[in-house]
């Protein structure tokens, strides 16, 4: 583990987080986990039914770190209640805060998210808030005790890619927390771009689940995230306004 990402005291060798929604069958989840190499998986508590014969949790490999999310919450109070229920149900103390009132674009409510983050971090949760990429809000989440922030690349489930690149660049530069780009990434090249910017990880679901071959797409994203991280660590070359010869223009030619 030469370049681990550490969140909540847990070192992660994979910087690709995945979801559990939209698959044609729950039995595909462990296959996607294997193909993607992911170690963190998010699941909405409202999809967990312990009494169901097809309980989604039973399909998640035991080595995975569970990241329950508060999907469906419209207020901080609702998000806090969902997080507490998830922990009481044995799903661990990691939580992805989702507080969404807007039902057209599903954009997160940063103010309510900050409130939920402060409450849950004080209760010992490892809080990863899903947020609109705003620096002031990100710094408030950091002060509230967030373990990482998860700004969107574009509207969730849209596969539209990185439409917030400059805002993500600012967050990565100014926030002293892991920045995990969450939502909207549709192509492996976009995941690589996020990692090249300096993102600590990416979380995606729809791009894999809706692909013609989800397992092959999971492999593609796995490789793209690794490539993007390597490019960031290597240091991208400078961008020039004019041409710069790669070979000297002087020498034996007269």
CA distance 2 to 72: 38
Helix crossing, 110-122 with 135-144: angle to 10°? 20
With vertex at residue 159, the alpha carbon angle to CA 67 and CA 93, rounded to the nearest 5 degrees, is 5
Would you say 144 and 121 are in contact if contact means Cβ atoms under 8 Å apart? yes
Other C-beta atoms lying within 10 Å of the C-beta of residue 55: 14
The structure tokens 């690349």 sit at: 153
H helix runs in the chain, sequence order: 29-36, 76-88, 110-122, 135-144, 165-174, 188-197, 206-209, 214-234
Cite the active site residues. 96
């Amino acid at each position: 583990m030469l370049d681990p990402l550490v969140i909540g005291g847990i070192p992660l060798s994979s910087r690709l987080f995945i979801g559990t929604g939209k698959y044609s069958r729950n039995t595909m989840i462990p296959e996607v986990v294997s193909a993607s190499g992911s170690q963190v998986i998010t699941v909405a508590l409202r999809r967990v039914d312990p009494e169901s014969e097809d309980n989604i949790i039973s399909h998640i490999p035991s080595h995975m770190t569970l990241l329950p999310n508060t999907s469906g919450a419209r207020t901080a109070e609702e998000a806090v209640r969902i997080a507490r229920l998830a922990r009481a149900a044995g799903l661990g103390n990691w939580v992805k805060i989702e507080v969404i009132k807007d039902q057209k674009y599903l954009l997160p409510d940063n103010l309510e998210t900050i409130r939920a983050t402060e409450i849950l971090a004080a209760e010992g949760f490892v809080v990863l808030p899903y947020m609109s990429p705003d620096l002031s809000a990100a710094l408030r989440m950091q002060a509230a005790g967030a373990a990482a922030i998860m700004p969107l690349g574009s509207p969730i489930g849209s596969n539209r890619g990185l439409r917030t690149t400059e805002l993500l660049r600012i967050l990565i530069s100014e926030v002293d927390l892991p920045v995990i780009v969450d939502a909207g990434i549709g192509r492996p090249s976009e995941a690589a771009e996020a990692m090249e910017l300096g993102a600590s990880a990416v979380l995606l679901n729809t791009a894999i689940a809706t692909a013609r071959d989800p397992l092959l797409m999971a492999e593609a994203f796995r490789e793209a995230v690794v490539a993007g991280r390597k490019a960031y660590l290597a240091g991208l070359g400078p961008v020039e306004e004019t041409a710069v010869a790669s070979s000297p223009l002087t020498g034996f030619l007269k």
